[in-house]
Amino acid sequence: MKASFVAVVVAAYAHAAWAHPWKGNKSFKINDTNVTLLNTFWATSPGLNMKAPVNVTTYSTDCKDVEFQADRRWDNCTEERITCIWFPNGTVGRGSNCRKVTRYGSADYGQVNAFRGGSGSVDRKFDNVTGTNVSTTLFPSHITVEHIEGFPTYVETIVIDEVGVRSFNRDMSRTYQTKLPITARFLQMRGNRIASISGVAFSENLQVMDFGGNEITSIGTILAPNLMTLSFISNKIASLAGAVFPSTLRSLLLQNNEITTLANVDWPPNLQILFLWNTNITAFYANESQFLLLSNVSTTCEGLSDDGSGDNGDHDYCERLLSHNATNATCKGHVRIEWLHGKYPICIIPDDKRPLNKVTIICAVTIAAGVLVVGVALLAHWRKVQRRHKWYNDSGAYCEDQTATVVTNDIRTDKLISSYRIPPDRIDRGVEIGRGGYGVVYVATIKYGGKATRQVAMKRLLPERTHNPTDVETFMDEIRTCSSIFHPNIVEFVGVTWTTLSNVSLLTEFMAAG
């Protein structure tokens, strides 16, 4: 019976003295007889179907017509498994290799598509008879890959370790060019520089994701609908506030992070394994329903292999849910203490309420005292809103019938982009800030509810261009391109909105300086 991914990951970290295990073994050296593959790393492209230039070093499956140097020692990938590394100067290098076993010889994870930097770039082997070092350097350890444009498919496991990755395209659920579903069940991206994966769409086939040793500070929204195991070991996470997990998640690994308080966490309903050891949690809050869910978390890992079959045997690791029992040391406003598994004190708070303190009470009294004034103000505002001319009524639907039958790339029928649709009545359009070509741009405000708002740039077709199918299709392509780019140096895609085809609008980050 194969061991679960949880057992494998925990074992890899357990004896690392809380350092990144992939940063160890610095003394390992390859002797003079070692044969490397580095001289075959660089590939060539004849220029027939050149990829558009990239701004940062990019891992991609857009490798059409790239010619790789042949080497019998290299485990070639084929078809949709092929990847390459594009550099801003136009050069291109070989990407991942493909094997039927992991670097440790295990065949439990199917075909492995891997690109590794740092210490992982060396395929370490010794002759069984002579003891001679016959290790091979598979990947150049100095290469930094900042952006992942797309994952390969038709593999079970994808590994991209220690190469400095910072960002992804927004949609990582399909291949970049051919739009085929990513079939991998395991994704490992340890030791990179990723700060966030929130809002990135991952494949519905992924069951395990390991982002250990990155620079993630908050979890946000995890879009991997069938995920079972999620590892954020050795990151910089300080809080789980606002975290949204897939309902299918069973194992959550958070040890060696910077968490000190846990309050009002929306734990996944099927959670069975939770690791929080080597975190300095001194205020662990839970309401009745959350405590009941946490009580179902295993302390033995018994029967919790990834495929739901059998005991993985690593009981010692699973027993360390937390590394101390001072989890109520700084609690405030709780109603009582309950002991989780008889070991860890949890501060119980009323359902759907946050821990109360003096500031909260003062705010509540102030709000109550001013409720009449606020009510009058809201009534006046509501009447004003009712009189306001809505932006989506200013152009009618006269173009709808003229274009709907000829637009072949209508985003309104695209399930992925439709998931980013913001209701039109949640948007207040402001002044025009620019126009040109086929479009016009306004400053706008998204109202999320309560006082939560966001200022955005709102682009739509000029009224006189909405009847032109070519302009409409070009605008649809622009929206698709924006929705697929996720990079800190590029204006952020926020969403889309519409009531008819003629007023489809693109919403992006508002840059006050233009």
Whole-angstrom distance, CA of residue 331 vs CA of residue 281:
10
**Domain 411-509: which CATH class?**
alpha beta
Cβ neighbours of residue 454 closer than 8 Å, sequence gap 6 or more: 445, 446, 448, 494
Tokens of 361: 């009470």
Q: Quick check: 147 and 57 in contact, CB under 8 A? A: yes
Output the pLDDT for position 513.
66
pLDDT digits (tens, 9 = 90+) for 233-269: 999 999 999 999 999 999 999 999 999 999 989 999 9
Strand-pairing partners, residue 496, are: 421, 506
Tokens of 225: 């609908």
Query: Using a CB cutoff of 8 Å and minimum separation of 24, what contacts does 215-219 make?
Result: 218/242, 218/243, 219/243, 219/244, 219/245
pLDDT digits (tens, 9 = 90+) for 158-167: 999 999 999 9
DSSP state letters, 309-360: -S----HHHHT-S-S-S-TTTT--S-SEEEEETTTEEEEE--TT-PPP-HHH
Whole-angstrom distance, CA of residue 421 vs CA of residue 33:
59
Whole-angstrom distance, CA of residue 211 vs CA of residue 192:
8
More confident residue, 359 or 25: 359
Instruction: Convert 443-480 to b/e letters by CB count within 10 Å (16 or more is b).
Output: bbebeeeeeeeeebbbbbbeeebbebeebbbbbbeebe
Residue 223 reports pLDDT greater than 90: yes
Environment class of residue 55 by beta-carbon count within 10 Å: exposed (0-12), middle (13-18) or buried (19+)?
exposed
Residue located via tokens 């992804």: 168
Provide the pLDDT confidence category of residue 312 given band limits of 50, 70 and 90.
Answer: very low
Output the pLDDT for position 365.
59
Output the pLDDT for position 384.
58
Strand, coil or helix: what is 82? coil
For the chain, give every domain's residue range: 355-383, 411-509
Output the pLDDT for position 15.
38
Whole-angstrom distance, CA of residue 168 vs CA of residue 458:
24
Strand-pairing partners, residue 442, are: 432, 458
Residue 65 reports pLDDT greater than 50: yes
Tokens of 482: 């924006």
Binding-site sequence positions: 459
Residue 486 reports pLDDT greater than 50: yes
Least confident of 10-24, 49-63, 228-242: 10-24
Provide the pLDDT confidence category of residue 45 given band limits of 50, 70 and 90.
Answer: confident
Side-by-side strand order, sheet with 157-161: 97-99, 112-116, 157-161, 186-188, 208-210, 229-231, 251-253, 273-275
Strand, coil or helix: what is 260? coil
- The most confident of the ranges 38-52, 87-101, 135-149, 240-254 is 240-254
- Mean pLDDT on 110-120: 82
Q: What does the DSSP 8-state code read for residue 376?
A: H
Least confident of 186-200, 294-308, 455-469: 294-308
Provide the pLDDT confidence category of residue 294 given band limits of 50, 70 and 90.
Answer: very high
Binding-site sequence positions for ATP: 459
